[in-house]
């Protein structure tokens, strides 16, 4: 088995350690392996889609330097964003639930751009 090194912000590491205790994972490595398996599985399903798709995309992101600044991807892909719900969840963080509809290639590009944003800490896609 290969060994890798990760840099994780302290608040996230605290959440991981708490989750390990709550869910009975053996150690940090096991929870990271499981998270990676889940991520790859979800990404593969998205890669296999063709035609028009509808999805909800939930993102958690850190506000930018300007108050209320949203990730640029949402504005760039406004042709697929039908609507969204925005709220503040804790100091400096927002959550948005986006309803989007479009061809699979454009939707993949939109989701990829959200995941690549340095502001976005979580992206969850639910295909409808």
Nearest to 55 by CA among 65, 68, 64, 46: 46
Residue 6: pLDDT over 60? yes
C-alpha 97, offset from chain centre: 11
pLDDT digits over 43-92, tens only?
778 888 899 999 999 999 988 634 344 556 777 899 999 999 999 998 88
Phi, psi of 28 (to 5 degrees): -65, -40
Q: What is the pLDDT of residue 71?
A: 58
Q: Give the mean model confidence (pLDDT) for residues 96-117.
A: 94
Q: What is the pLDDT of residue 74?
A: 73
Hey, what CATH topology would domain 51-127 get? Answer: Alpha-Beta Plaits (3.30.70)
| Structural domain spans, the chain | 10-44, 51-127
Q: What is the pLDDT of residue 65?
A: 39
**Helix (H/G/I), strand (E/B), else coil: 6:** coil
Residue 110: pLDDT over 80? yes
């Amino acid at each position: 088995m290969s060994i890798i090194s990760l840099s994780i912000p302290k608040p996230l590491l605290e959440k991981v350690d708490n989750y390990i205790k709550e869910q009975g994972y053996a150690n940090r490595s096991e929870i990271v392996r499981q998270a990676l398996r889940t991520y790859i599985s979800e990404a593969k399903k998205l890669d296999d889609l063709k035609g028009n798709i509808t999805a909800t995309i939930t993102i958690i992101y850190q506000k930018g330097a300007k108050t209320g600044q949203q990730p640029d991807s949402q504005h760039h892909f406004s042709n697929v964003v039908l609507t969204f719900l925005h709220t503040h969840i804790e100091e400096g963080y927002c959550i948005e639930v986006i309803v989007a509809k479009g061809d699979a290639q454009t939707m993949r590009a939109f989701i990829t751009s959200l995941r690549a944003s340095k502001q976005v800490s979580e992206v969850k896609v639910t295909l409808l």
